[in-house]
Structure formats: structure tokens, C-alpha cells
Amino acid sequence: MGAARARKIGRFGWLLCAMPFYASAAWQSLGSIEKVETDADAVLLDTASGAKVQLSFPAAGVVRVHMAPTGALAPDHSYAIPGTVPRIPLHVEGGAGAADVVVASEGVRVVVRTRPNVGIAVYDADGALVVDDDPARPMAFDRDAGQIEVSKRRDPVELYYGFGEKALPMSRHQQYMTMWDSDTPAYLPGTDPIYQTIPFFIAVRGGKSYGVFFDNTYRSYFDMGKTDMSRYTFGANGSELDYYVFTGGRTRSPAAVLAEYTALTGRGPLPPLWALGYQQSRYSYTPQARVLEVARTFREKHIPADVIYLDIDYMDGFRIFTWSPQTFPQPDAMLHALHDEHFHAVTIVDPGIKVDPDFALYRAGRERGVFVRTALGDELHATVWPGTCAFPDFTSPKAREWFGSLYAGFVQQGVDGFWNDMNEPATFPPPNSGRPILVHDPAKTFPLDAVHDGDGAPGTHARYHNVFGMQMARATFEGLAKLSPERRPFVLTRAGFAGVQRYSAVWTGDNVASWTHLALSIPMLTNLSISGVPFVGADVGGFAGAPTADLYTRWLQAAALTPFFRTHAEINTPDREPWSYGDAHERMNRAAIELRYRVLPYLYTLFADEETGGEPPLRPLWFDHVDDVETYLVEDEFMLGDALLAAPVVRAGDVKRKVYFPRGSAWFDWWDGTRHEGGTRVDVDAPLERLPLFVRAGAALPTAPVVQYSGELAHTPLILAVALGADGGGHIYEDAGDGYAYRHGASRTIRIALHGDALHIDAPPSRGFPEIGAVEVLGLDAAPASVRVDGKSVAGFRYDAATRRLHVDLPAGARDVVLKR
């Protein structure tokens, strides 16, 4: 069979084990390169099998490999990448007759083995090997079945992170993962797949990183050394092999890799400040009076909060964009009352539209022809909450524009944000079918042969399933942006694909009220975060079931430093408000939420940084400490930015826990100022009333006095928290908290430099933004002999020996603070 020979029996045996959905035995390798065609920004390789491979460089240090088994490359059509994929100039050496073809561009070099099969090796700017095809498992395809795959050689200790939302350990080495958005309520640890599909990962080996993004919307898979530790393999059962390698430039750091990936797929836009406040939800707050009672209770008990959610019971028979006339008879008045209490309202919106000739919204969608069709061309119907439903085809621009316009009524009434649920898409399997309902039951979504528009590239649901939820979030985001161009949209989605960060926040779906799920939330959220999705969170307390008082308190503490901070609960469970567990827990829960509002200026600054540079607010320890191998497998700690290390208690009854402090700096306890050296593991006190929290020496971060809602921060002087012990600094970003004036200069960044015991503040004119009203220095063993501000001694400083914290009030415009010890 020559170069296009079928793969050997050994390969078939592996396929039967690891990819049982492969029924065909027509696998082929590409064979040798027979022709090399070049132009200024791409190289096209013709192979003996008839397949073609195109190499290009979207940016410095980034390689794109695109293989078409049919021999005809499909036009670029990516939901993950906005616009046209860029290309930069390249240089080629060698041809089909040479042993290797070398393709080079800025910051990267690709060596292509020409025989007996195509093999691709990527080298970084310094000439070091980044990643290499495994010659024992060359790039392959099954043309009849439309399946493709590639294998890369791996070091046995190379670790992998990312892959979006996975209920798996921190590193995904030796894991097999499927990419297929799936409705999986009360998922167990190890359940795969679940709600989100992001086929991107960051590899770490020997202190160096690289990334891979597989841009394929079909059901795909990644075997990261589970079947054979010497290689990892990824592929899909449709379309073409189209993937990107991000080398990370000269630093080869995780941050550089992620910056390259998010420069390609987009970065999360700066959210409105209120969306970073505490959010309260349940299935469901009803009737209308109960919603207002919850809001009033927050204010009466002085527990900070910004958002209240309305789940599906606010609707009339679950018809989207309606209000129940029985339980929500005066929604305008309710929303006005919430706003008077400085609350924002978020309502759930599902994709299913009830098939009802008397429902004007359904009639309008049918008349416009915007619903998903069956393979026979009929309107696709399936059962969800309203009963029999039709579904907008969110891969159609016409459907997205129509659906986005439907938010107009709710926006005019005063709804502030929207929560897209059930958009995997999820459907209900037929009852009484005489068969079991499986976790990943094919009847829980659309038939694979349903037809989608595909933005002008028509295809089946098998091709577009994984982007359905993301495109619903897009329709929502773009609709809100058009309806209220002066406001930043807030959208929350359960399902998504790579690039979803451009449109929406993400939460980890229907988790469980258990200590196991609390612990699981840390690797889930940090891996989602470094998958390019910065606005992430998990339902506090667990959606399914009822948490104990201690579990709820510990979860609230852990979540207080995650970007999306919401309590949520399923129907028919006990009350789950911060005051629902008695006075003692109410005090502890209030303190946890107050901590969130104290660090809100820092969190907002991190989101501003993410929009411009791609570094996420929430990070695993290894992200900023890749030279410290002890951080690689830490599952129960996380970083907020590079300054705060949180070590939540994730086991019942624990009042002490062991904390690993990354090498390279010292760390100060937030609460009592105790100093811990980097590279050590320490048993720290963790009483029920507080989160173990630590500040990196040399950090300066903005905080605030406790406020009751985020809007109060606009009139509240900041407190600069400083941890001495190393030179360093920080910065503070400020703008109006909403709208887009910041993109036209209406913002400022204050920069802080630390040198020894001297602090310098470089603050542009305030333009009405909050000033720094005080400095708090952490970790001082004694009061300083003196404090000088702008060269003048001040007598009004306060030192608290119990917390080892020094407080210095600053006059307006202060620039220099110097301690003498």
C-alpha cells in the first residue's frame, strides 16, 4: 500500500481500547512529502497519501499546522478565533528531495521530516526543541470516517494543564479526555466530559512551557500519556487537523504562552465592577416579595452584596422573556426596588422556546426561519422545561441578531445581566423509554444529524454541537451591547468553547454540596482560568444537596477570592443565605464576604491587566513559579494575581493545614503578619472563622475599607497594603466601573515602587477617581521608630502588635513613605 498504507494491527488494537467510537479500519499515515509549495507567509506540503499540510505563523513564536486529508484545505472558519487568522513572513530551506524542510519565522523554527512519513518538530527562539511528532505514531487520518489525529513525543514527567472545565486533578498528565459539551448534573470527580469544551493546554517540563490549541469543533479527544507514557495523542472524528503550537517566546513562561493563545482567541473584556461583587441565587427565589425580602435582609444585616438572581420560576410556564403573572405580577416595581437597595438583577434565559402558536416569540422565530432544523428539513423539536421546544440556530447570524434583540424588554425594565443555561444544548430524554438514562446519554442533546447554518458553512450538529452554547452567549453579549452601548454586558454561560471568554463569565455547572467538590473546585477553576477564561467560579456550597454550616462557611471563604462569587442552590433545599446557619456562622460568613470587598480594587486591577495582557486573575501556584517544581501538583492552594496566596480548608473539621510557600520570596500571613520563607511547607492555624491567606514579600496591592456594595467604592479612599521584605511594588487601575470611556483615556493607573523600607507612589491626576487614603504595612515585628511622608515626620501612625500591621494615614497627593526601624 506504499505511503498510504493502512496502519498496522497494533494500532488497531490501541484504537479499540482508547477510541471505541472508531469503527473504520481505513487509517492512513500521510507518507512522504512529494512537493513543497511556498509563498511569503505559508508553506504547502503535498504528501504521497493525497493529504496536504499547510504551515504558517500567526504571530512571532506561534506555529499553525493545518492538515486536510482530502487534499483540499477548507477555507478558514473558526468560532474560536475572531476574524481572519493572521500570518507573518517566513523563510524556507529544502524541498521534497531533502531529508528535512526547514521553515522559520520570527522566534520559531519548524523542521519537517520528509520521509517515510511527515514529521514536524518545533524549536524555540534559542534553538531548543519544544515539541516533536512521534515517528512511531505519525500523523494519520481515516478519510472515509473523516477522522484525524496526531501524536507527540513526551517526556514521562511532562505535565499538562488547562483543557477548560474538567473534574480532574490539577495536572492532566496520564489522563484521557473527551471534548463534548455535556449536561452532567451532580457530576462525580473524574466524570468527563462535562459542560465546557476548550481544547487548549499548557505543557510544563523543566521550568519551560509551551501550549497547544486544537481548533476542531467536532467531538475530539486528548490522550495525555494514559495509553502510552512516551507520547500524547489528540484527534477528532470530523473535519481537518488544525492546531497551533505556542512556544512562549524566549521566556517560555506559562504567562507568555497564555498571552500568545489569548492574543489569538481573544481576551475577556473588563467586566462591570458590580459583577465582581457577591451574588446570591437559588432555584428559585419566588414570589416577588421573597426576592425583595432577601435584598432587604442583606442590607439590614450589613452583609455586602451586589446581585440577586432569578431562576426559571420567574417565568410564565418557563417561556423565556416572560414574567409569571401569579408570582411576579409587578416586575418593574420589583426591579426598581432592588435598584433602590443598590442591587443588580440577573435573570436566567434558556435556549428552548416553547412550541405554542399563541406564544408570540415562537411565532416570530418560526416566521423568520431561525430555528435548528432536522436532517429532513423540519423544525427540530425537543423537550426541556417549557415542554416541546424549538431552538434558535445560534450558528446563524440572523438567529443571533434576532435572539439578541429579544432582551430589549427586560433591559428596559431594569434587568442588569443574563444567565444562559441548558445551552450544551441540553434536552430531556423521553420518559418511560424502557432503557436507562446514562450520564452521557445521546438523548440528552440534539440528534447529530440536525442541521446548522454554520455562519454560511452549513453542517451537522456533530460539527457545531460544541459551539452552540458559546454562540448563544455571543448572541446575548452582542444583543446587550447593541441595546445598551453605554454599559458593559454581563453574561454568564454554562456551556462554551475556546474563545467563550470574549462574551461571558463561566461557572462550573451543577456541582455537589460536599467537601470533595469544594476541594475539586480549586483545580477546576484554576485550569479553566489558564485556559483563557478569566471570569470563573463555582456555586458556593454546591448546587445539588445541602451543605453543613461548616462546609458552607469554608466554601464561602475559598470562593471569596475567585473571580465569580455566587451562592446557588437547587430546588427543595434548605435556605442558603449567609445568615441561614445561626449567629456564629453568620458572623464568619459576613467576614468572608467583607474580605472580598476589601480586595475588590485589587481584583478589578487584575481584570484590567487580563484584558490587555492575558494574565488571568486566578492562577495555580505553578503559573508564576514555574521554576519551583514543588508547585506543579499543589491542588488545594491558589493565587489571586501574583501577590495573594489562598490556602482554603477543604476537609471537614480541620483547624490547621499544611501550606506550601513557593520559592523565590517570603510570604506574610494576612491576619497576623507571620513571615514564612519560600520553599517551605508549614502547618498553619486555620480556625473556622478565617481563610488562610498570605501576601508575597515585595507586593503592594490596593484594598478598601468594607463597603456594602461595589458602587460605594467610587467614593471610598483606598488602602494600600504593602508587604516589605523585598524590593517590588504594584499598581492600581481605576475607571468608572462601567461603560467604555476607559478605552478613550478615562482611567488611570497608579504605580507603586518598593525599595527597602521606602515606598514611592506615582499617581496621575485623579479625574475624580479614589485616592490612596492610607498605607498598611504587613509583617512588622515592632512599631517603626518614625514614619516620614514626603519628607515630613508623621505622628498619627498606628501599630497593632496582634496583627503586626502598621497603619499610616496619607494626605492627598502623597508620594513617598519611608519607615525608619
Active site residues: 421, 424, 510
Residues 6+ apart with CB under 8 A from 360: none
The number of CA neighbours under 13 Å toward the Cβ of 771 is: 13
Report whether the peptide linkage leading into residue 116 is cis, meaning its omega lies within 30 degrees of zero: yes
Grid coordinates in use for 108?
520559531
Contact 89, 107 (CB under 8 A): no
Contact criterion met (CB below 8 Å) for 660 and 694: no
Q: What angle do CA 724, 727, 732 make, to 5 degrees?
A: 80
> How crowded is residue 216: how many other Cβ atoms within 10 Å of its Cβ?
25
Residues 6 or more apart in contact with residue 324 via CB below 8 angstroms: 286, 313, 314, 315, 316, 317
* CB neighbourhood size of 276 (10 A): 26
CA angle, 64 then 65 then 66, to 5°: 115
Half-sphere exposure of 213 (CA within 13 A, CB side): 28
Choose among 781, 282, 768: nearest CA to 571: 282
Percent helix, strand and coil across the chain, each to the nearest 5: 20, 30, 50
Phi/psi of residue 573, each to 5°? Answer: -110, 160
Beta-carbon contacts of residue 423 (< 8 Å; ≥ 6 apart): 350, 351, 468, 469, 472, 473, 493, 494, 495
**Closest to 8 in 3D by CA, of 156, 132, 117:** 117
Which residues does 439 contact at the CB level (< 8 Å), separation at least 6? 182, 184, 187, 191
* 285's grid cell: 427565589
- Beta-bridged to residue 353, according to DSSP, are 390
For residues 55 and 63, the answer to whether their CB atoms sit within 8 Å is yes
Instruction: Find out whether 194 and 167 touch, Cβ atoms under 8 Å.
Output: yes
How many C-beta atoms lie closer than 10 Å to residue 575's C-beta?
A: 11
The secondary element (H helix, E strand) that includes residue 396 is none
Peptide bond into 193 cis (omega under 30): yes
Contact in structure between 643 and 701 (CB atoms under 8 Å):
yes
DSSP string, 408-439: HHHHHHT--EEEE-STTT--PPPTT-SSPPPT
- Report long-range pairs for 739-745 (Cβ below 8 Å, ≥24 apart): 739/486, 739/487, 739/488, 740/485, 740/486, 740/488, 742/270
List 67's β-bridge partners, or say none.
Answer: 53, 241
